Amino acid sequence: MSDADRRPRILFLCTGNSCRSQMAEGWAKALRGGVIEAHSAGTKPHGLNPLAIRAMAEVGIDITGHASKRPEEIGVAFDVVVTVCDSAHESCPVMPGAKVVHRGFDDPPRLAAGAASDDEAMPHYRRVRDEIRAFIETLPASVLA
């Protein structure tokens, strides 16, 4: 396949690569896998969030096989880096040739910090999950323009 024929490589970047970027990668592979090559990473990865896994499972997307990682561990050059949190946007590593687009989403763990149970926390995860889906449905046009 020529370089012109390959799908654009999009990296979804957040701080921990535990929740928002993982959801974005899951949605992108499920909804836009035929037109983009999706990856996720974190500036300070610290493992998958179990409630993010649960939120995605509720809509039929299994992210249990995802791993929390740094961008350089993926081993490919990216066409676009989408920062999905303000912290990652402020500390985005330089990736030559990649266009950086910021689309911040609320942090479900922070929103759910006062929740008495996982069930009480889930509405925050569901809202952000659904907001990320709406954004993913606009790809690749919204980030390649």
Taking residues 1-27, report their average pLDDT.
Answer: 88
Per-residue pLDDT at 135: 97
Q: Is the pLDDT of residue 2 over 90?
A: no
Residue 19 lies inside a defined structural domain of this protein: yes
Domain count of the chain? 1
For residues 84 and 18, is the Cβ–Cβ distance under 8 A?
no
Residue 4 lies inside a defined structural domain of this protein: no
Residue 119 lies inside a defined structural domain of this protein: yes
The model's pLDDT over 71-102, given as tens digits with 9 standing for 90+, comes to 999 999 999 999 999 887 787 777 889 999 99
Per annotation, catalytic residue among 85, 121, 132, 136:
85
Q: Does the annotation mark 85 as catalytic? A: yes
Per-residue pLDDT at 87: 83
With bands split at pLDDT 50, 70 and 90, how would you rate the model's confidence at 142? Answer: confident
Q: Of 112, 40, 52, 111, whose CA–CA distance to 76 is shortest?
A: 40
Residue 80 lies inside a defined structural domain of this protein: yes
Per annotation, catalytic residue among 10, 11, 13, 14:
14
- Structural domain boundaries enclosing 42: 9-138
For residues 20 and 49, is the Cβ–Cβ distance under 8 A?
no
Q: Does the annotation mark 19 as catalytic? A: no
What's 116's domain CATH number? 3.40.50.2300
Per annotation, catalytic residue among 30, 31, 59, 92:
92
Is 5 strand, coil or helix? coil
User: Measured between alpha carbons, how far is 51 from 137 in angstroms, rounded to an integer?
Assistant: 22
Per-residue pLDDT at 4: 59
Residue 1 lies inside a defined structural domain of this protein: no
Q: Is the pLDDT of residue 8 over 80?
A: yes
Residue 126 lies inside a defined structural domain of this protein: yes
The model's pLDDT over 32-80, given as tens digits with 9 standing for 90+, comes to 999 999 999 999 999 999 999 999 999 999 999 999 999 999 999 999 9
Strand order in the sheet with 99-102: 37-42, 9-14, 80-83, 99-102
Residue 105 lies inside a defined structural domain of this protein: yes
Residue 144 lies inside a defined structural domain of this protein: no
